[in-house]
Structure 1
Amino acid sequence: MNIHEIRTGELQKKLKKQKIDGILITSVNDLFFVTGFHQDRTILLLTGDKLYSFIPKMFYDDFKNTTPWAEIVIYENLYDDIENKIKELKLKKIVFDPTTSFYDEAKKFVDMGAKPLSSFIKEFRMIKKLDEFESIKRSCHIAAKAFGIIKPKIKEGVKEIEVARELEYIMQKLGAQTRSFETIVGFGPNAALPHHETSERKLKKNEVVLMDFGCVYKRYCSDMTRTFFYGKSTGEFLKVYSIVEKAQKEGIKISKEGVLSKEVDRVARDIISENGYGQYFTHGTGHGVGLEIHEEPYLNTRSSVKLQKGMSVTIEPGIYLYGKFGVRIEDTIYIEKNKAEILTK
C-alpha cells in the first residue's frame, strides 16, 4: 500500500467521523495528494467506502497504473455523470472546496446538493508525511546550493532577468523540475517592491540585491529570499539588515509545536516596530509550503492556527523603503516538537 492509498483511507475515516457521505475533489494538487496522479480535467468523488475518478478516456491507462484502488469512470458529460453517480449511491451530504472550483463549476455542485467546505483536505495537507518532508528538504537544498553558485557571478552591468534565468537554469541542473514561482530579482530601488516584476534593469555599483526564488522537486516547493549589498554597504542598509535579521531569527526561534501562527508574526513584527520601521513591514511573516508555494497555514496577524509537528512554513520578515531599497530574509523551516529546522541552507 503506497502513501496515496494510505491518504485515501485516512480521508475516508475523516469523512465517516464528520458524517459526510462524500467529497468532490477538483484541485490538481489535491488530486495528486490523494492519488499520485497529476492531470487536469479530472474530478474525484471520495466516499467513506470508495474512490471514484471521473477522467477522460485518454488518461485511463496512466491513471489505472498510478491509482489501481480507485474505480474509474470514463465520462462523456462530466458533471451529469458525477450527478448520476451521486444519485446512484444515494449520497445525501456532499461537500466541495469552493476555493479550488471556478464559479460555474461551484454552481453545478451546489445544484447537485453539495455544500462548500474549504478546510477538509487543507487540514491534511498542512502536516507533511516523511516522503513529503524529504521532497521539500531536497527542493530547499537545491535552491540554497544554487544561490551559493550564482552569487559570485552577480557583477556590475548584469540584468535582473539574466540573473533570474541563470539561477533557474542552475536549479534545474541540480535536479529541480522547474521553478516554484516566478523568480524575483530586484536591484537598488526595485528591492523595495515586495513582489517586484524582474526586469531588464542593470546592476550598478553600491546597490542592494534582493532575490526571492525556489524550485520544485517531486512536485514539492521551496521558497527562500536573500538580500545583500553589491559594493560598499551603507550604514542605513546595515542597520535595516540587522533589524530584519534579528526579527527573522527570533521568529524561527519561537516556531515550534503548539505556538500560534499569529504569535510568530507578532514576535517578528514587534522587533521591526520597536526599531521604528513597523510601517515598512507590509506583509505577513510567513506561509505554508508544500505542493503549492503558498498554502496553509499563514503566519500573519489574523491567523489562529497552531503550529504542529510536520508543518513546513516560511519565516520572511522585511522592511521596504520605497525609492531606496528593501531587505527581506526568508527561509523555509520544518516544525518539530521543541524547535524548527531550517531547510534552506
Structure 2
Amino acid sequence: MPVPFTRSTYEARLCIVRAALARRQIDALVVTHPPNVRYLTGLAASAGAALVTGTDLYLITDFRYAAAVERLLDEAALHEIVTPMVGEQPLEQATASLVAEGQLARVGVEAAHVTLEQHNRLAALQPGASLVPVSGVVEAARVRKDDREIAIFREAAARLSDVATTVLREVVKPGRTEMEIAAEIDWRLRRAGFSRPAFDTIVASGPNSALPHAYPTERTLADGEATVLDFGGVYNGYCVDLSRTVLLGSPSAELRRMHEAVSKAQQAALAILRPGVAPEEVDAAARKSLGRDGLEEAFGHSTGHGLGLEVHEAPRLGRRRPDMEPSAPLETGMVCTVEPGVYVVGVGGVRIEDDVLVTTDGCELLTRVDRAWRVR
C-alpha cells in the first residue's frame, strides 16, 4: 500500500468539501465513488464508502479491508478525523444509522456514481431524510493538485517518459504485431514501478491508426505506415498518459504532413495554456492550427483532459457543448493532457500527447519524449 498523505492534507481536503456542502445547505454527503473515497480517506478499495458531515468523517467498508484501514489510520495519524465502520453493517444500513443518529435532514448523494437501485435503497432506509443529488463536490477539490501530488506526477511522468523512449527505440519495429507490442509496453510499465496500466494500451498501425481508440490486433506493422501508441500507468494511485505516432520506413508525403500539422497544433495549444485561460480556448488554438493545414475536420476528439486518481477527469480541454455551462478557467496546480490528433480513413492517423502542469506563468511539460519519431 502506498505511503499515505499527511493528516494535514486530509484535513485540508475535508475543509474544501465541507465548505461546498455548506454552500448547498447539505448536512452530509454519501461518497461512493472509489477515487473520491480514496481522496478523502486514503483507502484504495473496491468496496466502501465515506459519509462526510459538518463535524465527522466515517469510513464504511467490509472485513476484507479491516487491517488495511487500521494501518492507514495509524500511518497517517487519522484516528482523530476518520471514524472507521468496518464490517458492522451493509453500506446502506450503516449510512442510514449514521443519518438517523445525527438527525441529518438533507443528505447528498453522488449523482454521477449512484445507481437508481442504490438511491432507492438509501431512501427506503432513511425516510426521515431528503436525498439530494449532487455532482462534482469531491471532484472540484481534486482538480488542483497539492505539492505532494505534483511530486508524484513529476516522478510518474519521468518514469513514463523513460518507458516510452525505450519502447520507441527497441520495441516498435516492422514485422511485429500490435498485440506483441502492447504486451511488451504493459510489461515495461510494471517493471518501471507502475502498479498497472492506466487504461488499455493502444497500438494501432496502418489503417487502424485512423481509429482514435483502436484495440491492438494481430496485425503486423509494415514499412510506410503510421503506428499510434497511446499508453499510461498508475503510480502511487495517480495516472499519467502519453501518445506518440511512429512513422515506419518511408511514409507517404501525406502522413508526414499530418504528423507535422499535429505537432504544430500541440505547440499552439501549449503556447496559450496558463491560469485564467478557458479550457475551450486551448482546444480552439489546436483546431485553428490544424485548420490552417486543412485538417480541422479530421480532428474529432477533445484536445485534452485532466489527470489524477482517474485517467480522465476535469478539466476537459474541448469544445463547449450546447448543454454545458461555460468551463471554469484553468488554475495553477491542474494537471492535464494535450493531445491533438487527425484521422483520415485510407491514409492513417496521427496523435501526439503529453502531460502538463499548469503553473503560475504557463505550463510545465511533465512528459519529455521526442515527438518526431521515425523507424527506418
Same fold (TM over 0.5): yes
Question: Aligned residue for 1:45?
Answer: 51
Following TM superposition, by how much is the alpha carbon of 1:281 offset from its aligned partner in structure 2, in angstroms? 0.5
Aligned equivalent of 1:206, options 203, 224, 237: 224
Answer yes or no: is the 8 Å Cα contact 2:201–2:231 preserved in 1.
yes
Aligned to 2:9: 3
Does the 8 A contact of 1:5 with 1:35 survive in 2?
A: no
Q: Which residue of 1 aligns with 2:39?
A: 33
**How far off is 1:181 after superposition?**
0.5
Higher mean C-alpha displacement, 104-113 vs 150-159: 104-113
Match of 1:342 in 2: 365
Matching residue of 1:245:
263
What do the CA deviations read for 1:281-326 (whole angstroms, capped 9, x no partner)? 0111111011101011111111622100000011111110113210
- C-alpha separation between the residues in 1 aligned to 2:94 and 2:37? 18
Mean Cα deviation higher: 89-98 or 25-34: 89-98
Could you tell me which of 120, 127, 132 is aligned with 1:107? 120
**How far apart in 1 are the matches of 2:287 and 2:221?**
30
1:129 aligns with 2:146: yes
* Larger displacement relative to structure 2 (255-264 or 35-44): 35-44
Q: Distance in 2 between matches of 1:2 and 1:65?
A: 18
Aligned match of 1:149: 166
Q: Please tell me whether the aligned partners of residues 41 and 59 of structure 2 are also in contact (alpha carbons under 8 angstroms).
A: no
- The 5-angstrom pairing of residues 1-345 of structure 1 reads 1-67=7-73, 68=79, 69-74=81-86, 75-111=88-124, 112=126, 113-153=130-170, 154-302=172-320, 304-345=327-368
Coordinate RMSD, CA, aligned: 1.6
Q: Kindly tell me: are residues 57 and 156 of structure 1, through their superposed partners in 2, closer, same or farther at Cα, counting changes over 3 Å? A: closer
Query: Residue type matched to 2:119 in 1?
Result: A
User: Secondary structure of the equivalent of 1:284?
Assistant: coil
- Tell me, which stretches of 5 or more residues in structure 2 are unaligned? 1-6, 74-78, 321-325, 369-376
Per-residue CA deviation, residues 128-168 of structure 1 (Å, 9 max, x unaligned), is 11111111222221111111111122222101111111112
1:110 shift after superposition: 4.8
For residues 167 and 44 of structure 2, the distance between their equivalents in structure 1, rounded to whole angstroms, comes to: 32
**TM-score scaled to structure 2, two decimals?**
0.88
Query: TM-score normalised to the size of structure 1?
Result: 0.95
Gaps of 5+ in 1: none
CA distance in 2, matches of 1:331, 1:57: 41
Contact 1:7 1:34 (C-alpha < 8 Å) held by counterparts = yes
Deviates more, 1:132-141 or 1:63-72: 63-72
Q: What is the one-letter code of the residue matched to 1:179? A: P
Instruction: Render the CA deviation track for 1:200-254: whole Å, top value 9, x for unaligned.
Output: 1111112111100111110100011101211013211121111111110010111
Structure 1 residues 192-201 or 127-136, which shifts more? 127-136
Contact 2:16 2:141 in 1 (8 A): no
- Alpha-carbon contact 2:342-2:350 (below 8 Å) kept: yes
2:353 & 2:21 partners in 1: Cα distance? 37
Quote the offset at 1:18 in angstroms.
4.1
Q: What's the CA shift string for 1:251-295, capped at 9, x where partnerless?
A: 011110000001111111111123221211011111101110101
Question: Is the 8 Å Cα contact of residues 140 and 215 (structure 1) preserved in structure 2?
Answer: no
* Cα separation, partners in 2 of 1:110 and 1:267, compared to 1, 3 Å: farther
C-alpha distance in structure 2 between counterparts of 1:131 and 1:14, whole Å: 23
1:78-106 deviations in whole A, cap 9, x for unaligned? Answer: 21221121011011121121112223113
SS state at 2:200 partner = coil
* C-alpha separation in 2, matches of 1:176 and 1:21: 39
- Taking the aligned partners of 1:47 and 1:76, their CA distance within structure 2 comes to 19
With 223-232 and 14-23 compared, the bigger mean Cα shift is at 14-23
Spell out, residue by residue over 1:163-216, the C-alpha distance to the aligned partner (whole angstroms, 9 max, x if none): 111112112212111111100001111111000011111111121111001111
Q: Name the SS of the counterpart of 1:313 in structure 2.
A: strand
Q: Is the 8 A contact 1:140 1:214 kept in 2?
A: no
Q: Deviations over 1:13-45 (max 9, x none)?
A: 443354321111001111111111111321111
Task: Single out whichever of 90-99 and 280-289 deviates more from structure 2.
Answer: 90-99
Residue 133 of structure 1 aligns with an amino acid whose one-letter code is I
Are 1:315 and 1:330, in contact at CA under 8 Å, matched by a contact in 2? yes
How far 1:122 moved relative to its partner? 1.0
Structure 1's 135 and 51: CA in aligned 2 closer, same or farther, altered over 3 A?
Answer: same
How many Å separate the matches in 2 of 1:20 and 1:48? 9
